[in-house]
A and B are shown apart, each in its own frame.
Chain A
Amino acid sequence: MNSEDDLMATNRRDFLAAAVTTVGAALTPGHADHAHDHDHQAVPSDPTLRVKALESLLVEKGLVDPAALDALVDAFEHKLGPRNGGRVVARAWVDPEFKKRMLADAGSAIAELGFLPHQGERIVALENTPKIHNLIVCTLCSCYPWPLLGLPPRWYKSPSYRSRAVIDPRGVLLEFGIDLPPDAEVQVWDSTAEVRYIVLPERPGGTEKLSEEELAALVTRDAMVGVAKISLPHKKGVA
């Protein structure tokens, strides 16, 4: 372990040194000391250089295909994401039988809509009611229901959320704008690699006439994590 730590420390230093050299080389001679009123956008940040160096090494060794990386980034940005979860929630709102299956075995229920686990995880759905409010967190890192919500937002992975969600959930909820009545119970669910949770939020009133698709569009990521309630964007005209 010690030797590995040393190794890591050495490599980190060398990477930084290399990065500094590269940044230096990227600057035009004489440019650094002139008075200027523009940003040096052209100079890449340290992590940019380090990740690029690692990628190029792996590509050169044939260990990774840059096209696969492009495809993955595209999937993270455009194909995965809370709209998948929104479809599942809307289906549960309009189809009581589906909702029953969802609460009994979310994995099988979401598979009906074509969503499969990515990492062999089990997904559990938690129903919010006027008396029970569910909140999900991963205190250890960043486990999250990927197939339905995509990658977690930065705050979900932050030390502040991970530490506070379990010790002061009401305070956390208040910060997110949810003021729960004192008689409502808060249940906090700590995710693991094996079990991921998704909150089934309460369906807002005045949405009886909306189609399943319109309902799905109302569902937000934050509501499925349990840090928001769902409201109608324009109350006028719907109710």
Chain B
Amino acid sequence: MNGVHDMGGMQCMGQILHEQNEPVFHERWEGRMEALYRAMGAWHKWNIDSARYERCLIPPAEYLGNSYYQNSFLQVRSLLVKRGLVTPEEIESSVPAQGFCEAFARPEAGWRAAFGLWWYCRGAEGGYRRQFQGGTAGACA
């Protein structure tokens, strides 16, 4: 896929701003955003390629005008809706839909778990997990 993200060799993108002693995150929300993205990956609803693809769908003017983590926000929000983990209405209102199925994500052991290696949701045999796999998150059957 070509697009504005494919920047190698483009010109006039300005000066490189090399910052001394740069913090890992410049603002608290950036860290929360990155963590949300990684943690939600644990549901295995996307892989690195499909997630990247979603980022490349951000309209060029917006992509260029946004900071890296602002684009992450748009990317993740779009992934969540398209994969059925949240509904557009829930995104709009920021509250779960009436009668939604509650999932149970929890880390097994420390930070490594949060990379999605050892996560599970409760009720894998017959409950919540099937709801999410069926792409019907947000409403109990």
Q: Do A and B come from one complex?
A: yes
**Residues of chain A contacted by B15 (CB below 8 angstroms):** 160, 175
Q: In this assembly, does B22 line the interface, its C-beta being within 8 Å of a C-beta of chain A? A: yes
- Bound state CA distance, A153 and B82, in angstroms? 30
- Bound state CA distance, A81 and B138, in angstroms? 38
A48 x B26 contact (CB < 8 A): no
Q: In this assembly, does B92 line the interface, its C-beta being within 8 Å of a C-beta of chain A? A: yes
Report how many residues on chain B are interfacial, defined by Cβ distance under 8 Å. 74
**Residues of chain B contacted by A140 (CB below 8 angstroms):** 5-8, 52
> Closest CB-CB distance, B59 to chain A, in whole Å?
7
Q: In this assembly, does A238 line the interface, its C-beta being within 8 Å of a C-beta of chain B? A: no
A45 x B27 contact (CB < 8 A): yes
Contact partner of B43 among A1, A5, A50, A63, CB < 8 A? A63
**Residues of chain A contacted by B73 (CB below 8 angstroms):** 47, 50-51, 54
Secondary structure call for the A interface: helix
Closest residue of A by beta carbon distance from B77: A54
Contact partner of B39 among A8, A68, A161, A165, CB < 8 A? A68
Closest residue of A by beta carbon distance from B5: A140
B8 x A61 contact (CB < 8 A): no
- Bound state CA distance, A155 and B16, in angstroms? 6
Contact partner of A154 among B68, B86, B137, CB < 8 A? B68
Contact partner of A71 among B13, B32, B114, CB < 8 A? B114
- Contacting chain B: which of A35-43, A72-80, A97-105? A72-80
A164 x B13 contact (CB < 8 A): yes
**Residues of chain B contacted by A11 (CB below 8 angstroms):** 77, 88, 91-92
- Bound state CA distance, A162 and B7, in angstroms? 6
Q: In this assembly, does A172 line the interface, its C-beta being within 8 Å of a C-beta of chain B? A: yes
Contact partner of B40 among A12, A58, A67, CB < 8 A? A58
A64 x B39 contact (CB < 8 A): yes
A193 x B52 contact (CB < 8 A): yes
Which chain B residues numbered 81 to 114 have a C-beta less than 8 Å away from chain A? Answer: 81-82, 85-86, 88, 90-92, 94-96, 100, 102-107, 110-114
Which chain A residues numbered 131 to 164 have a C-beta less than 8 Å away from chain B? Answer: 137, 139-142, 150-151, 153-155, 157-164
Closest residue of B by beta carbon distance from A227: B18
Closest residue of B by beta carbon distance from A151: B24
- Bound state CA distance, A190 and B6, in angstroms? 11
**Residues of chain B contacted by A159 (CB below 8 angstroms):** 7, 10, 13-14, 64
Contact partner of B24 among A58, A119, A150, A193, CB < 8 A? A150
**Residues of chain B contacted by A167 (CB below 8 angstroms):** 8-11
- Bound state CA distance, A176 and B17, in angstroms? 10
A-B contact pairs, 13 of them (CB 8 A): A7-B81, A7-B88, A14-B92, A51-B36, A68-B35, A69-B36, A71-B107, A73-B32, A79-B111, A154-B19, A157-B68, A172-B16, A193-B48
Q: Which residues of B contact A (CB under 8 A)?
A: 5-11, 13-19, 22, 24-29, 31-36, 38-40, 43, 48-49, 52, 55, 57, 59, 64, 68-70, 73-74, 76-78, 80-82, 85-86, 88, 90-92, 94-96, 100, 102-107, 110-115, 121, 128, 137
- Taking A48-B29, A54-B91 as known contacts, 18 extra A-B pairs with beta carbons closer than 8 A to each other, sorted by chain A number, are A51-B32, A51-B36, A54-B73, A58-B80, A60-B96, A61-B102, A64-B36, A71-B111, A72-B114, A73-B34, A73-B35, A137-B8, A141-B5, A142-B68, A150-B24, A155-B19, A159-B13, A163-B11
